[in-house]
Amino acid sequence: MRPDARAGRGAPENTTPTRFNLPSREADGDWLDTREELDGLPPLRTTVTVEKPKTIITRNQSPDIGFDRSINPYRGCEHGCIYCFARPTHAFHDLSPGLDFESKLFAKPDAAKLLRAELAKPGYAVRPIAMGTNTDPYQPIEGTWRITRSVLEVLSETSHPVTITTKSDRVLLDLDLLADMAKRDLVSVALSVTSLEPSISRTLEPRAPAARKRLAAVKRLAEAGVPAWVAIAPVVPGITDHELEHLVEAAAEAGALGCFYLPVRLPFEVAPLFRAWLDEHFPDRAGKVMHIIQSIRGGKDNDPNWFSRMRGQGPWADLLRTRFERAVKKHGLNVEKRPLRRDLFEPPQGAQLRLF
């Protein structure tokens, strides 16, 4: 057991960001150097800082993803998934991608107000807005802040299409909105499920709801007419890849329209955190897991190149792809297409109401 590891948290340590030359504290012989040794680690509590951005829609030009704009109501994520590729973004706040990322959170309570202003701009071109692409819009603090809810209310009011990705059954808190938007073909929801084994999930994504709850949420969404998908993301070789077929089967039984998968990605500071996590929880296979990941990523911990970063390369990547495609075909998934409508959009009303 690492002396700085925290029970119930994902990252086993709080590393210093390496890309921005941020200072790290070195031992100098004062009382702080022995405080934790004498008193033990202080309680790690989640804090939320209000952020005041000027805009809320983030745009991208990446050719290998299916959206060009997104909204992130929060920075950081209390779910604590060790593999989260968003962890390095905390470095921009001079915070660690480790424990800081999952305990020092930022909320954007003006998100709905900012969104309304952006949608009202002349010449706004409608395309689906993606939520949950960076940090989870339904992480625990959403239960108190309800920022995701406020954003969905604006999108529903203006008949604007949206896609949601989450690891939480808290998405059902907004089932009324989602069901109404689904009737107008304005929404689709993907629940990310990485493992059906609680012993793995408890360390891999310690504060996310159990897989059975997420699959139950898929079923509730489907029954309410909301197009629901299962994202097997990420697949971790040597840890969760043996569950691939079982996860596809579970998605079909829950009534999902389909599913997709992504091999694990370890960009920037995520790789050393993931290695430390392996040493802590799977020391018997840490070397094997990293060897397979590197074989998928062209001999490195991470492949940042477009297209290949989402699929991987080499025999292991080909095997995962073949297994997934056969399982999907067996269970009749990924057949029905439900494109989201853009023609229903009506800009928000300003101070002067519409004539008609």
- Secondary element (H or E) of residue 148: helix 147-157
Q: Do β-strands 57-59 and 69-71 pair in parallel, antiparallel, or remain unpaired?
A: antiparallel
Residue 63 DSSP class: T
pLDDT value of residue 110: 98
Round to whole Å and give the CA distance between 95 and 100: 6
Residues 6+ apart with CB under 8 A from 39: none
pLDDT value of residue 34: 56
Residues 6+ apart with CB under 8 A from 169: 191, 209, 213, 214, 216, 217
pLDDT at 185 over 70: yes
pLDDT value of residue 11: 78
Residues 6+ apart with CB under 8 A from 309: 64, 265, 302, 303
Q: How many residues comprise the chain? A: 356
For 339-353, what is each residue's pLDDT tens digit?
999 999 999 986 445
CATH assignment of 48-330, among 3.30.70.2740, 3.20.20.70, 3.30.56.10, 3.40.50.720 = 3.20.20.70
Percent of the chain at pLDDT > 70 equals: 88
pLDDT at 4 over 70: no
Measured in whole angstroms, the distance separating CA 147 from the mean position of its chain's CA atoms is 16
- Please tell me the least confidently modeled range out of 15-24, 216-225, 289-298: 15-24
What DSSP line would sit under 272-309, residue for residue? HHHHHHHHHH-TTTHHHHHHHHHHHTTTSS---STTHH
pLDDT value of residue 10: 74
Whole-Å CA distances, 65 to 62, 70, 205: 6, 12, 24
Strand partners, 49: 106
pLDDT value of residue 234: 97
Residue 50 DSSP class: E
pLDDT value of residue 33: 55
pLDDT value of residue 287: 97
Q: Do β-strands 187-192 and 162-166 pair in parallel, antiparallel, or remain unpaired?
A: parallel
* Mean pLDDT, residues 128-146: 97
Is residue 210 within 8 Å of residue 289, measured between CB atoms? no
- Residue with the bigger pLDDT between 140 and 34: it is 140
pLDDT confidence tier of residue 26, bands split at 50, 70 and 90: low
Counting DSSP H helices and E strands in the chain, the numbers are: 13, 10
Strand partners, 258: 229
Computed over every residue of the chain, the mean pLDDT equals 91
Q: Where are the domains of the chain?
A: 48-330
Whole-Å CA distances, 318 to 78, 82, 98, 353: 33, 25, 32, 56
Round to whole Å and give the CA distance between 354 and 356: 6
Is residue 202 within 8 Å of residue 9, measured between CB atoms? no
pLDDT at 247 over 70: yes
pLDDT value of residue 83: 96
The pair of three-digit structure tokens given for residue 27, joined into one six-digit string? 């031992």
For 42-51, what is each residue's pLDDT tens digit?
678 899 999 9
pLDDT value of residue 354: 53
- Secondary element (H or E) of residue 315: helix 314-330
* Mean pLDDT, residues 326-343: 96
For 187-207, what is each residue's pLDDT tens digit?
999 999 999 999 999 999 999
pLDDT at 141 over 90: yes
Q: Which amino acid is at 87?
A: R
